[in-house]
Amino acid sequence: MIVNLARGLIAIFAFIGAGVLETLRRIGRVTIFAGRTIAGAVTPPYYPGRFLEQCANIGWFSLPVVGLTAVFTGAALAQQIYTGGSRFNAQSTVPAIVVIGMVRELAPVLVGLMVAGRVSSAMAAELGTMRVTEQLDAMTTLRTNPYRYLIAPRLVAAVLTLPLMVLLANAIGIWGGFLLSVYKLGFNPAGYMRSTMNILEFSDVVMSLVKAAVFGFFIALMGCYHGFATTGGAAGVGRATTDAVVSAFILILFSDLLITVMAFG
């Protein structure tokens, strides 16, 4: 009886330990991958053409979905705040809560998630296909560093374009809340904008952009890492695509909580 119980406890601890070790191994592999990519980004040769191409793919082509997400979210947020505030005669708080909610939290997170769903999957699929078709091996054979040529431009482009998209999403989201509040809820346009400008602080915008840069780093890192580490043919490419999006989502939400607690806690 005691021997069986001891064996059961050992099996449980062994299972937990194996999971912890595998998690640490994965964190180590991602950290090494990120270090090599950052080193490739800050040392020559540079590939400005690849960088501009990735800026277009990540930033420009994501603007429609980012704009629609921001305007609908801002309008819906204004409606919900007005409905909830009317129970306490606090309808006047709509402009303040809309601008704070959009700038500090909703715009960075929603833009990060939308871009991650579009960009991380595309990066993982492209690099994964190159891996299983041995194009990455051929590139290495031709003495072209894939970290500098393929991954670094994506990482730098994501870090630089995400803050710009979040800045635009902030404006569009506030504008969406303004339109619904003025034309449906009966707010005075001048009073609404005055309340918005009075409550918004420069530190709120800075924190929004910092979050965006961190999210952009994780989006590109996860897409490139899972694509670069793809194995198993076409099925492996599918798994890499899924893993890239899920990993990017988790890191975005976790880092958002961490930055929020550190900045405003």
pLDDT digits (tens, 9 = 90+) for 181-195: 999 888 888 888 998
- Reference 173, options 77, 82, 94; nearest CA is 77
What number is the average pLDDT over the span 85-102? 85
| Model confidence pLDDT, tens digit, residues 152-166 | 999 999 999 999 999
- CA separation, residue 41 to residues 50, 145, 147 (Å): 12, 11, 8
Q: Which residues contact 250 (CB under 8 A, 6 or more apart)?
A: none
For all residues of the chain together, what is the average pLDDT?
89
Q: Where are the domains of the chain?
A: 48-264
Res 71: pLDDT: 94
Query: For 84-91, what is the mean pLDDT?
Result: 80
How many other β-carbons are positioned within 10 Å of the β-carbon of residue 188? 11
Amino acid found at 217: F
Q: pLDDT band at 85, cuts 50/70/90?
A: confident
Q: For residues 232 and 181, which has the higher predicted lDDT (pLDDT)?
A: 181
pLDDT attached to residue 265: 67
Segment (H or E) for 16: helix 2-42
Amino acid at site 109 = V
Structure-derived torsion over alpha carbons of residues 160, 163, 165, 171, reported in degrees to the nearest 10: -150
Question: pLDDT confidence of 250, banded at 50, 70, 90?
Answer: very high
Mean pLDDT of 134-163: 90
* 188 to 58, 95, 154: CA distances (angstroms): 38, 11, 44
Q: How confident is the model at residue 17 (pLDDT cuts 50, 70, 90)?
A: confident
| Listed residue (57, 35, 63) closest to 164, CA to CA | 63
Helix ranges (DSSP H) in 87-201: 94-100, 107-115, 121-132, 135-141, 146, 152-183, 189-199
53 to 112, 255, 256: CA distances (angstroms): 20, 27, 28
This prediction's pTM:
0.91
- Cα 170 to chain centroid distance, Å, stands at 16
Query: In this model, does residue 6 exceed pLDDT 90?
Result: no
Distance, in Å, from the CA atom of 97 to the CA atom of 75, rounded to the nearest integer, reads 12
Instruction: Round to whole Å and give the CA distance between 147 and 142.
Output: 14
pLDDT of residue 258: 93
Radius of gyration of the chain (CA): 23
pLDDT at 3 over 80: no
At 248, the pLDDT band (50, 70, 90 cuts) reads: very high
Q: How far apart (Å, rounded) are the C-alpha atoms in residues 192 and 74?
A: 14
pLDDT band at residue 1 using 50, 70 and 90 as cut-offs: low
